[in-house]
């Protein structure tokens, strides 16, 4: 855990969050400034700064992140109409919080343009 990382602090229960799912390895909670009617952030509990920091040994973790997003989309009731999964990486990728997270966005029509 990184002491200064806000998402690590949410994992540790030191900061409040609207948690929608948790298991041994992952946590999912609602984004504090939602960009869509459904906006859930899904994170591995163990601190990895970004996609850029993932190792070959974390293939399973990365795959499970996407499968979990799919399952939560169903649970949130947005699977039928569709949704968007986003992972920002680094400053030009628009990443603000340096703890790997996947955005699950749905409940409205997404812009076809990407960024
Ligand atoms: P990024 O731009 O790094 O991909 O996305 C970071 C996201 O985290 C943003 O959508 C922002 O609204 C959200 N966020 C930042 N701080 C907090 C917080 O303390 N709690 C929650 N629930 N979301 C946060
Ligand atoms: Zn962290």
Average pLDDT over residues 2-21: 95
Q: Give the pLDDT confidence of 23-50 residue by residue, as tens digits.
A: 999 999 999 999 999 999 999 999 999 9
Does 12 have pLDDT greater than 70? yes
Q: Where in the chain are the domains?
A: 6-106
Does 17 have pLDDT greater than 90? yes
Active-site entry in 39, 47, 99, 101: 101
Mean pLDDT of the chain: 97
Instruction: Name the token pair of 33.
Output: 């400034």
Does 65 have pLDDT greater than 70? yes
User: Who surrounds ion ligand 2 at CB < 5 A?
Assistant: 2, 5, 7-8, 47, 99
> Half-sphere exposure (CA, 13 Å, Cβ side) for 41?
23
- pLDDT at position 3 is 73
Does 115 have pLDDT greater than 90? no
Average pLDDT over residues 7-13: 98
> Concatenated DSSP letters for 15-35?
S---EEEE-SSEEEEE-SS-S
Evaluate whether the domain defined by 6-106 bears CATH number 3.30.428.10: yes
CA of 111 from ligand 2 middle (Å) equals 30
β-bridge partners, 97: none
- pLDDT at position 1 is 66
Residues with CB under 6 A from ligand 1: 6, 17, 29, 31-33, 41, 88, 94-97
């Amino acid at each position: 855990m990184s002491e200064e990382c806000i998402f690590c602090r949410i994992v540790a229960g030191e900061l409040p969050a609207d948690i929608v799912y948790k298991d041994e390895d992952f946590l999912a909670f609602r984004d504090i400034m939602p960009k869509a009617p459904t906006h859930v952030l899904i994170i591995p509990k163990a601190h990895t700064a970004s996609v850029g920091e993932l190792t070959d040994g974390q293939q399973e973790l990365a795959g499970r992140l996407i499968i979990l997003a799919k399952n939560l989309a169903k649970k949130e009731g947005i699977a039928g109409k569709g949704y968007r999964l986003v992972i920002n990486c680094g400053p030009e990728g628009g990443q603000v919080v340096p703890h790997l997270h996947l955005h699950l966005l749905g409940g409205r029509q997404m812009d076809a343009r990407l960024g």
